[in-house]
Amino acid sequence: MKFICEKEKILKGINSVINGVSSKTTMPILEGILIQTNDSEIKLTSYDLEIGIEYILDANILEQGNIVVNAIMFSEIIRKLPNAEIQIKLNENNLLEIECEGSLYKLATMNPEEFPELPKINIDHSVQLEQTTLKNMIRKTIFAVSNEENRPIFTGSLFEVVNQKLNIVAVDGYRLAIKSKEVEDGNDFSCVIPGKTLNEVNKIIADSFDIITVGIAKNQALFEMENCKIVTRLLDGEFLKYSNTIPQNWETRIKVNKSNIQNCFERILLISASSIEKEKKYPVKVNIEVGKVTISCSNQTGDAKEEIFVDTEGKDLEIGFNPRFFLDALKAIDDEEVYIEFGTNRSPCIIKPIENGDYVYMILPIKMKD
């Protein structure tokens, strides 16, 4: 195997597949990147038995061949080389030679025949959308995916197509995020895709109008673009019937400038987050009166209070929240103004757009000390 490639091209490929490499494994082959040549292309592949990533890039192929090399070592060497053409070849001692200008490195390799094949997927359902659309949908929901492994189904996001609308839903037991988009094709389906996979998809896809196809099989999903594909297992289990949990009525509602209330929460967090383990014990208090919201926090570190003028409807209310949950939702919103709807001080709060209904955030309150 021997080829020449621009550093920028091969580094982009490495960065795309590197997070499919296993970080905790007893199988050294899974710590590697499979490098394969084909006519005028190189295919880089990583696979940790849960998520597999393939990336294809153009190169000047001088000799065909396949090899596996340690991903971290290969990545770091390429990253630190000059911005120039790099020659990579497999020598007679089965070492991978990496040469660029005055630099020469030789890396041990592994047998490509031991590298596991990515699953062959027979697509049952698929949906196509622009990469920038999917990137935006993931960004607006991924923060609400659970990190708790004792509830594995919530460590992923629900992907569902219902009546030509794609919904992505994330929930962690304390909050819920939904982002929707009309799609032109695709039969109804639903599945749960791991949050780890969605984070990698979000890093790889471009903020462009190029198309990405999401294909769903019985227990696998495929994200396919022009020069890259990502294969992942699906999560088993029954996802929350989320539509039944979202309040349809409110007792108190405010209309507020998103940036203004976000800035208030960010400043309040300086006090609240100074003692993270006490965050639930000392929540941020939100007090709603006619035309005004007061946000405050008091703990051993100090006191903080913010007042903001808003449009209010309904009853006065005092309620407590984890401020991080509020901030995560506000940071994901692009609209200039939003509605925030409340029931009682024990019922969920809803953040949603004023005009369209393509996203909804729900946050559970925290019981405040008397």
pLDDT tens-digit series, residues 98-122: 999 999 999 999 999 999 999 989 9
pLDDT of 281 over the 80 cut: no
pLDDT of 368 reads 77
Contact 128, 211 (CB under 8 A): yes
Q: What are phi and psi for residue 358, nearest 5 degrees? A: -90, -5
pLDDT of 275 over the 70 cut: no
Return the percentage of the chain with pLDDT > 90, whole number.
83
Per DSSP, helices labelled H in 22-175 are 71-80, 131-139
3-class SS at 298? strand
pLDDT of 170 over the 50 cut: yes
The CA distance from 106 to 100, in Å, is 12
How many secondary structure helices (H) and strands (E) does the chain include? 6, 26
Going from the N-terminus, what domains does the chain have, and what CATH number goes with each?
Answer: 2-114 (3.10.150.10), 125-243 (3.10.150.10), 246-363 (3.10.150.10)
Mean pLDDT of 119-136: 94
pLDDT digits 0-9 by tens, 344-364: 999 999 999 998 779 999 999
pLDDT of 186 reads 67
Does an H or E element contain 318, and which?
strand 317-321
pLDDT digits 0-9 by tens, 144-165: 999 988 899 999 999 999 999 9
The CA distance from 59 to 3, in Å, is 7
Contact 51, 71 (CB under 8 A): no
Question: Do the strands 317-321 and 284-289 form a parallel or antiparallel pair, or are they unpaired?
Answer: antiparallel
In terms of Cβ atoms closer than 10 Å to its own Cβ (0-12, 13-18, 19+), residue 263 is: middle
Ramachandran area for residue 347 (φ above 0: left; ψ -120 to 50: alpha; else beta): beta
Sheet containing 165-171: give its strands across: 189-194, 156-162, 165-171, 175-182, 359-363, 349-353, 337-342, 252-257, 311-314
Q: What are phi and psi for residue 148, nearest 5 degrees? A: -90, 115
DSSP label at residue 143: G
pLDDT-based confidence at residue 253 (cuts at 50, 70, 90):
very high
The CA distance from 357 to 316, in Å, is 26
First to last CA, the chain: 72
C-alpha to C-alpha distances, 99 to 7, 44, 72, nearest whole angstrom? 11, 19, 18
pLDDT of 24 reads 81
Give the count of alpha carbons within 13 A of 249, CB side only.
3
Return the percentage of the chain with pLDDT > 70, whole number.
97
Mean pLDDT of 270-283: 62
Rg of the chain in Å (alpha carbons): 25
pLDDT of 18 reads 93
The CA distance from 247 to 347, in Å, is 9
pLDDT-based confidence at residue 277 (cuts at 50, 70, 90):
low
Q: Hey, what amino acid is at 369?
A: K
Positive or negative: CA dihedral 19, 20, 24, 30: negative
pLDDT digits 0-9 by tens, 25-48: 889 999 999 999 988 999 999 999
pLDDT of 370 reads 60
Q: By C-alpha distance, which of 56, 22, 52, 31 is closest to 42?
A: 56
Mean pLDDT of 207-220: 93
